């Protein structure tokens, strides 16, 4: 759950930075929204190489063996869903955005959707396990909240820009 906590810390730090320097924080966050998914791809490839954040057991032909158990390469799924796909969508959308802040809001939404899907193939953190029955992990629950916040932020930005 370190990623979700990092997001909260990032937004607090950005808010304090904005208070001190009085810059257009939304423009800055849009640049961040396009660059973070690229870094995320390399981070997940590192997780794959180190056999961290392992996938759930599987019988698919592209599974990988981790400690003698065939598992989903969930780190690679995440690299594609939360990194590459989010980057491509935002990179294309940047040409159509009308207001500063749209990209960071959409990043929050699309990252969360990708994370929610990828979590079905990732072994839940051993100390947490599943939080709702035997199917929803804590990462999925937090991703639902983050997706909702991303959509709220998107509509807030649009509404605020149309008023001003």
Average pLDDT, the chain: 92
Mean pLDDT of 62-70: 97
Q: Which DSSP state fits 96? A: T
pLDDT tens, residue by residue, 5-51: 787 888 788 888 888 998 888 998 999 999 999 999 999 999 999 99
96, 155 contact by CB (below 8 A): no
The domain ranges of the chain are 2-41+77-163
DSSP percent split of the chain into helix, strand, coil, nearest 5? 65, 10, 25
Q: Pick from 56, 105, 93, 103: which is nearest to 77 by CA?
A: 56
- Please give the Cα distance from 57 to 12 (Å, whole number): 38
- Please give the Cα distance from 78 to 45 (Å, whole number): 9
Determine what percent of the chain is predicted with pLDDT higher than 90.
73
Residue 2: its pLDDT value, please?
Answer: 67
- Residue 28: phi, psi to the nearest 5? -60, -45
Q: Which DSSP state fits 125? A: P
pLDDT tens, residue by residue, 137-150: 988 999 999 999 99
Higher pLDDT, 9 or 134: 9
pTM value is: 0.88
The CA–CA distances, whole Å, from 101 to 34, 50, 64 equal: 12, 35, 40
- Which residues are CB-neighbours of 124 under 8 A, at least 6 positions away? 130, 137, 138, 139
Tokens 């849009």: give the residue.
30
């Amino acid at each position: 759950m370190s990623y979700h906590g990092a997001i909260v810390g990032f937004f607090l730090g950005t808010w304090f930075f904005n208070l001190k320097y009085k810059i257009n924080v939304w423009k800055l966050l849009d640049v961040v929204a396009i660059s973070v998914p690229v870094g995320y791809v390399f981070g997940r490839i590192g997780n794959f190489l180190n056999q961290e954040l392992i996938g759930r057991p599987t019988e698919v032909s592209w599974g990988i063996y981790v400690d003698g158990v065939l598992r989903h390469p969930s780190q690679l799924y995440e690299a594609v869903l939360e990194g590459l796909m989010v980057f491509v969508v935002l990179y294309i959308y940047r040409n159509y955005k009308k207001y500063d802040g749209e990209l960071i809001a959409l990043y929050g939404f699309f990252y969360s959707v990708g994370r929610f899907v990828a979590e079905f193939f990732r072994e839940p953190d051993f100390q947490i396990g599943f939080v709702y029955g035997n199917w929803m992990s804590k990462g999925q629950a937090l991703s639902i909240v983050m997706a909702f916040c991303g959509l709220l932020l998107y509509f807030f930005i649009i509404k605020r820009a149309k008023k001003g």
